[in-house]
Amino acid sequence: MSNALPSVTQLRLNTAEEFETDFAFSGHPEGDEVKISTSTSAAVYDLNGVLEGRLTQLLRSKFGSINPSSDNRISVSVDRIETENDTQAFSSGGTHQVSVEVGIEIRREGETFTRTISRSAQIDAKQTGELVPKTVVDEAQLEEFIMQFVVGADSFIDSNFGVD
């Protein structure tokens, strides 16, 4: 998946280029390879990587750049990932429920603001290819799920940086 934000999201962004910020991301130990498995197939996706990439793009779009020497800092951590796989799913694919909790901490001009965003979704997997079947994750569903965290982070950033 690309790290680029969807064009609809980019059009809705309010910029805060009068500010600068640093960015730190801490993924969950299980988030690099989240597995969807059924009785006959399995697929994995990198929740940490996709979320970090999208949030990095959000901050670059909003602030113009990320400045590691800034006194302002936005820290995001994936605090919890829970999955429940449907191991009885049909052989051509599978599905699982995923619940994720993300913590956001904004340090701005000496003050600290925190927020937790919790979301759940169903992510499907399907088989592709005729000669060599391969199980892949439904990228549209994963995209929609990840964007819930990006939009939540954007709103929280706006409210703490005074962006209208």
Residue 16 pLDDT class (50, 70, 90 cuts): low
The answer to whether residue 9 scores a pLDDT higher than 90 is: no
Q: Which amino acid, 135?
A: T
Question: Which SS3 state, helix, strand or coil, does residue 29 take?
Answer: coil
**pLDDT tens, residue by residue, 84-131:** 887 555 445 567 899 999 999 999 989 999 999 999 999 888 777 666
Question: Which SS3 state, helix, strand or coil, does residue 41 take?
Answer: coil
Model pLDDT, residue 35: 86
Q: Which amino acid, 80?
A: R
Evaluated on CA atoms 76, 100, 82, 114, the torsion sign reads positive
The answer to whether residue 4 scores a pLDDT higher than 70 is: no
CA 103 to chain centre: 12
Q: Is residue 149 part of a domain?
A: yes
Q: Is residue 6 part of a domain?
A: no
CB-count burial class (<10 Å; 0-12, 13-18, 19+) for 96: buried
Model pLDDT, residue 161: 86
Q: Is residue 10 part of a domain?
A: no
Q: Which domain, by its residues, includes 26?
A: 18-161
Model pLDDT, residue 77: 98
**pLDDT tens, residue by residue, 27-79:** 999 999 998 876 667 788 999 999 999 999 999 988 989 999 999 999 999 99
86 in Cβ contact with 37 (< 8 Å): no
Model pLDDT, residue 135: 75
Q: Is residue 3 part of a domain?
A: no
- Number of other CB atoms surrounding residue 38 within 10 Å: 21
Distance set, CA 45 to CA 33, 40, 48, 111, 127 (Å): 5, 18, 9, 36, 15
Q: Is residue 12 part of a domain?
A: no
Model pLDDT, residue 136: 81
Q: Is residue 1 part of a domain?
A: no
The answer to whether residue 15 scores a pLDDT higher than 90 is: no
Model pLDDT, residue 142: 92
Domain of residue 130, CATH code: 3.40.50
Q: How many domains does the chain have?
A: 1
